[in-house]
Amino acid sequence: MCKKTSLLLSILFLFLTSCSMPSSAPTLTPAPTLTALPIPTLTPVPTLTALPTETPIPVPERAKYTLNAVIDYDARTVVVDESIAYPNLTEQQLNAVTLAVEPNLWTDVFELTGISIDGAPVTTYTLNGQRLDISLSSFLKPKSILRLNIQYKLTLPLADQQDPNIARPSIFGYTKRQINLVNWYPFVVPYNNGEWTLHEPWFYGEHLVYEAADYEVFVRFADPASAPVVASSGFPEAAGESTRYTIESARAFVLSMSREFSVSSMQVGDVTVSSYFMGLTGKDGGQAVLQTSAQAVQLFSQRYGPYPHKTLSIAMADFKDSMEYSAFFYHSPLYYEQYDGTNSNYLTTIGVHETAHQWWFEQVGSDQAQQPWLDESLCTYSELVYYEHYYPNIVNDWWWPYRVNYYNPQGFADIPIYDGQGFRPYTNSAYFQGARFLNDLRGRIGDEAFFAFLQDYFAQGRGRILSTNDFFSILSQHTTTDYSDLVRQYFRHIYQ
């Protein structure tokens, strides 16, 4: 063996010696047993409650007028802050609204101090005569509400009286004994067939057309210690320094005030009828018209339909006219002076007529300028209904001869106020020819069908503005009797 080989063997021996296992294996320590970790109890995820569906705000059935008025009786001024919530009940988008502002027909009476919509001042408006047009910055969509605020001051005019054939009867303003606030606030006029209905004033008759609305009116006097007695359209309640008046579904809100008013009241069911009169000449008549109107409220509620308000006020006027408003009417002083203690007089018959307007005007509206017969003839005929029920012995002996036939009425019933050719020809046509038509119609179709028709006409028209076409359409649902000759006799147009 060579030296090189010997060296390799020595190295191999040493390597094997160093890598050999020991004679006994070491004792292994067992691995520790693992303790299971606890499984946490999971809190269940709560069930998510669905977000509530937003309930749409209902659109009111009619506009609401809120007026805050401060009246200085001696200075004859009224400062008003008026809010209007006007729902768009048309089926069209509106880019403007039109309001009637009757006080602006007088010079230096209506002072407009501000207009805003939703609190933002408005400058895009025009005021010409009785017409206030307000342009809107965005369309008023159907079933949405316009919130309008108007501030103004009234410096009341003298309510002077002239011949109704040459000048309009003046009620708004002041007299020596009275302040009368009629059509004293701006109001949104009806919208029909794409147009705002605002007719021009005329010498006689009524030119305004009113939508039914709700009213909340706060009245405060500058000098409470000398405040007058107030007759109103609404139900009065104390509200701090003010009196709060409320009425719903009304055509117009009226205030009449005088330091000379005496008042007497009577209850008819839940309705308080009140008569406001002045002086000794008004006392007997004031009691008589109170009794008359209370009887009429009871009768017409049975014959036509219920009276809707809590109150009915009758104010003796300090001007020569009688005139109806919502839950209110003026009665001419001439009738108080001529009252003879009987029921064969105009204090009674015109009192019944004006009370009947609480059905045919207040509840069933119409275009009083274009179709005045609708309310005036029904109210005239309601006088007959009253006399037939309470005083039948004077129907043929007094009512027909003196109330109607004395004037020998001629002409067509369905004339506008503008075609009347004078106060007497106008009333002969719209009032008396219309009443004759209704009487002839009743005789033709019979009492049962006639009064069933009036009740239905009232029910369908309540809170609405009806037309002559509506009148005959509803009538056709209650009779098959031919009355076409009566239509040709009393009407210049043929209605369906």
Sign of the torsion angle spanned by Cα atoms 338, 339, 342, 344 = positive
Give which of 185, 188, 182, 153 is closest to 168, Cα–Cα.
Answer: 182
Which neighbouring-strand residues pair with 133?
A: 98, 126
Average pLDDT across the chain, whole number:
90
pLDDT at 44 over 60: no
CB 330 within 8 A of CB 317: yes
Least confident stretch, 57-61, 105-109, 329-333, 417-421: 57-61
**Position 240 confidence tier, pLDDT thresholds 50, 70, 90:** very high
| pTM flag (> 0.85) | yes
Given this model, what pLDDT does residue 42 score? 43
Percent of the residues in the chain that have a pLDDT greater than 70, as a whole number: 88
**Model pLDDT, residue 54:** 52
Q: Which of 305, 309, 314 is nearest to 456 (CA)?
A: 305
For residues 37-64, average pLDDT: 59
Beta bridge partners of 314: 275, 329
Pair type for strands 311-316 and 323-325: unpaired
For residue 154, the one-letter residue type is: L
Q: What mean pLDDT comes out for the span 74-89?
A: 98
Q: CA-CA distance, 169 to 321, in Å (whole number)?
A: 8
As a whole number, mean pLDDT of residues 93-102 equals: 98
Degrees, nearest 5: CA angle 484-422-357: 65
Confidence (pLDDT) at 163: 72
**Rounded CA separation 411/422 (Å):** 13
> In whole angstroms, what separates CA 51 from the centre of its chain?
38
Phi, psi of 107 (to 5 degrees): -75, 135
CA distance 41 to 38: 9
Homologous superfamily in CATH for domain 59-248 = tricorn interacting facor f3 domain (2.60.40.1730)
Percent of the chain residues past pLDDT 90, beyond the cut: 83
Question: In 3-state terms, what secondary structure has residue 82?
Answer: strand
- The yes-or-no verdict on residue 45 having pLDDT over 60 is no
Q: How far is CA 49 from the centre of its chain?
A: 43
Flag whether pLDDT at 336 surpasses 50: yes
Whether the per-residue pLDDT at 84 is higher than 90: the answer is yes
pLDDT score for 17 = 37
| Distances, alpha carbon 261 to alpha carbons 227, 271, 278, 341, 353, in Å | 12, 21, 5, 21, 23
User: 11 pLDDT exceeds 50?
Assistant: no
Cα 340 from Cα 336, distance rounded (Å) = 9
Q: pLDDT band at 136, cuts 50/70/90?
A: very high
For residue 449, the SS3 value is helix
Asked whether the predicted pLDDT for residue 347 surpasses 90, the reply is yes
Closest to 392 (Cα-Cα) out of 299, 301, 456: 299
Question: pLDDT by residue (tens digit) across 437-480?
Answer: 999 999 999 999 999 999 999 999 999 999 999 999 999 999 99
For residue 87, list its beta bridge partners.
145
282 or 181, greater pLDDT:
181
Q: Cα(433)–Cα(175) distance, rounded to whole angstroms?
A: 35
Please give, one letter per residue, the 3-state secondary structure of 158-216.
ECCCCCCCCCCCCCCEECCCCEEECCCCCEECCEECCEECCCCCCCCCCCCCCCCEEEE
468-475 helix and 373-390 helix, angle to the nearest 10 degrees: 50
Q: Quote the DSSP letter at residue 279.
A: H
CA 472 to CA 109: how far, in whole Å?
A: 43
Report the pLDDT value the prediction gives residue 426, as an integer from 0 to 100.
96
Length of the chain (residues): 496
| Burial class, 49, CB count within 10 angstroms (exposed 0-12 / middle 13-18 / buried 19+) | exposed
The confidence score (pLDDT) of residue 37 equals: 38
What pLDDT does residue 496 have?
61
pLDDT tens digits along 174-217: 999 999 999 999 999 999 999 999 999 999 999 999 999 999 99
Where is average pLDDT lowest: 57-66, 139-148, 225-234, 311-320? 57-66
Is the model more confident about 317 or about 37? Answer: 317
pLDDT confidence bin for 75, thresholds 50/70/90:
very high
Q: CA 68, CA 240: separation in Å to the nearest integer?
A: 13
